[in-house]
Amino acid sequence: MNPIHPMQGGGGTIRPNKKTVKKKINPLKKSKVVDYMDPKFLNRFINDQGKILPKRITGVNAYQQREIAKAIKYARHIALLPFVAQDIA
């Protein structure tokens, strides 16, 4: 029997267009503490617009992502990090 949809085929089909994804290395390792007083470290987790990067890009786990988001928001409130990037125009 011939499958109609490509995903219905047997498990041994090879997809030539599928790229191998390299596992991201966790920058926090197994640390549970994220210091909000270190803006240089927190800058690794925000983009040039000042937005918090998602965990699929940074490579941290879900718990660490929540702690990083809290630390960034707290650092913004005490003026260690900007809320938005400076507009150079």
Domain-by-domain residue ranges, the chain? 34-89
CATH domain 34-89 topology = 30s Ribosomal Protein S18 (4.10.640)
* pTM for this model (two decimals): 0.72
Tell me the β-bridge partners of 52.
Answer: 46
Residue that the structure tokens 């219905």 belong to: 8
Q: Quote the pLDDT of residue 75.
A: 97
- To the nearest whole percent, how much of the chain has pLDDT over 70? 80
Q: What average pLDDT does range 70-81 have in this prediction?
A: 96
User: Which residue type, as a one-letter code, is found at position 19?
Assistant: K
CA distance 65 to 54: 8
CA distance 35 to 30: 14
Q: Quote the pLDDT of residue 2.
A: 62
